[in-house]
Amino acid sequence: MMLHFNYIKNLNPKRQEAFTKRHHEIIEDLEKMLEKGVPDLTMSQIASNLKISLRTLYEIAPSKEELIIMITDSILRKHGKYALESISEVKSPLEKLEKYLYMVNQVVGPKFNMFFKDIEKIKRLESVVDYHADFITNLTEELLNQSIKAKEIQDIDSKAFSILLGGIGREFIKEKNKLSESSPEESANSITSIILNGIKLRN
């Protein structure tokens, strides 16, 4: 079964259309640096660490806030595209969904922790994350509908379940909901499995 989704486009395509090969190389270095805590650095310190001029850094983004937003968006898009590519050859819509949700739940795991550390402190960053979360929810709803038609799961309210499944990771990444026994990724995957196993049709 084909998916009727193309992954979401850049949030700021006009600016990125003007980027050179060198700009894209710097962006890749920025993505690696973000894992180590860019939010604690100034634009000048970021430029110094990358061994580039401050002017070049400002060509990529006009402020540190915009820089973090752009890099976070870029990382989420890459991970999302990789998740979609990984399920492209899977025939069963339910298996597609299980594998897809397992992969997108990695976003709330340790590897991506720094990307969301200061989400509440950076204006617009939460809206960027919401933008990607909406894509996950919509794709989850389509795969649930396909699974119903394929008689792999019960005839459920796919919209309601897609909201639930698409938002599990976001809930566990919140500081007040973090568990000491397991990572947000592990918790999200565990509950996702319980939900999907509960609606499967047994042949």
Comparing CA positions, the residue from 142, 188, 184 lying closest to residue 164 is 188
Entry pTM: 0.80
- State whether the Cα torsion 85-90-96-100 is positive or negative: negative
- For the chain, the domains span 65-199
Please state, in angstroms and rounded to a whole number, the distance separating the CA atoms of residues 105 and 195: 14
The answer to whether the CB of 183 falls within 8 A of the CB of 106 is: no
Please state, in angstroms and rounded to a whole number, the distance separating the CA atoms of residues 196 and 13: 36
The answer to whether the CB of 99 falls within 8 A of the CB of 174 is: no
Comparing CA positions, the residue from 76, 79, 81 lying closest to residue 126 is 76
The answer to whether the CB of 46 falls within 8 A of the CB of 29 is: no
Predicted confidence pLDDT, tens digits, the chain (203 residues): 445 555 555 555 545 667 889 998 999 998 888 777 677 789 999 999 999 999 999 999 999 888 888 888 888 888 888 999 999 999 999 999 999 999 988 876 655 666 666 666 777 777 887 888 889 999 999 999 999 999 999 999 999 999 999 888 766 666 555 655 667 788 888 999 999 999 999 76
Distance of CA 77 to the CA centre of its chain: 7
Please state, in angstroms and rounded to a whole number, the distance separating the CA atoms of residues 138 and 80: 13
- State whether the Cα torsion 150-87-116-55 is positive or negative: negative
Please state, in angstroms and rounded to a whole number, the distance separating the CA atoms of residues 84 and 61: 28
**CATH superfamily, domain at 65-199:** Tetracycline Repressor, domain 2 (1.10.357.10)
